[in-house]
């Protein structure tokens, strides 16, 4: 009898869970994006002050429920030492959000190398990717065409997966749609 009731309960109330990785170099805006997302989609979530967000050491986790679906976001630290741990999370992920700091032209090639290493992992084959060109609210930011040019040799390595680039500002919530992939 317990098994029947347990099964009925799970059928009626269990949510489909999907894990989404948030990756990118340190200071790209990954945690700010996660905090904005949690604030917008969780009615009772107060959120932390965006001005008090510091560099992530390890990971931050956020959960959002949308209908019968639960999205679990894993915001992984982007320092070079921590990037070697990213692949430990790939097998569990159903999607990747890769955040690029559009104001940091000096580190754009470093960001591209991290992106390229990530997309060539067999564990992420076929996993959809959202590329966020963050900090578009800053006048001196790189444009989407500039970022497309810098990442152009990665396009062939993306393979047969959904990929979209979104220009945004995690700080202000500004977003526009500009395809890169």
Residue of 14, 79, 83, 166 marked catalytic: 79
79 is catalytic: yes
Task: Give the strands of the sheet with 95-101, arranged side by side.
Answer: 59-66, 69-76, 16-23, 95-101, 129-134, 163-168, 175-177
SS3 168: strand
29 belongs to an annotated ligand binding site: yes
Q: Where are the domains of the chain?
A: 15-177
31 annotated as ligand-binding: yes
- 9 CB neighbour count, 10 Å cutoff: 10
78 is in an annotated binding site: yes
pTM of the model: 0.87
Mean pLDDT of 116-135: 95
Q: Assign a CATH topology to domain 15-177.
A: Rossmann fold (3.40.50)
Confidence band (pLDDT; 50, 70, 90) for 160?
Answer: confident
Range in 144-148, 155-159, 176-180 the model is least confident about? 176-180
């Amino acid at each position: 009898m317990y098994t029947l009731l347990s099964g009925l309960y799970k059928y009626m109330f269990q949510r489909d869970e999907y894990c989404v990785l948030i990756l990118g170099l340190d200071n790209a805006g990954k945690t700010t994006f996660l905090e904005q997302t949690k604030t917008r989609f969780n009615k009772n979530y107060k959120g932390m002050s965006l001005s008090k967000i510091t560099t992530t050491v390890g990971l931050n986790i956020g959960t959002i429920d949308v209908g019968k679906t639960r999205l679990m976001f894993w915001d992984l630290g982007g320092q070079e030492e921590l990037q070697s741990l990213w692949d430990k999370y790939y097998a569990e992920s159903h999607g990747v959000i890769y955040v690029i700091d559009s104001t940091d032209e000096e580190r754009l090639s470093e960001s591209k190398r991290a992106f390229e290493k990530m997309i060539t992992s067999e564990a992420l084959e076929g996993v959809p990717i959202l590329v966020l060109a963050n900090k578009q609210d800053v006048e001196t930011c790189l444009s989407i065409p500039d970022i497309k040019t810098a990442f152009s040799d990665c396009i062939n390595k993306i393979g047969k997966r959904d990929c979209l680039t979104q220009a945004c500002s995690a700080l202000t919530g500004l977003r526009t749609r500009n395809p890169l992939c």
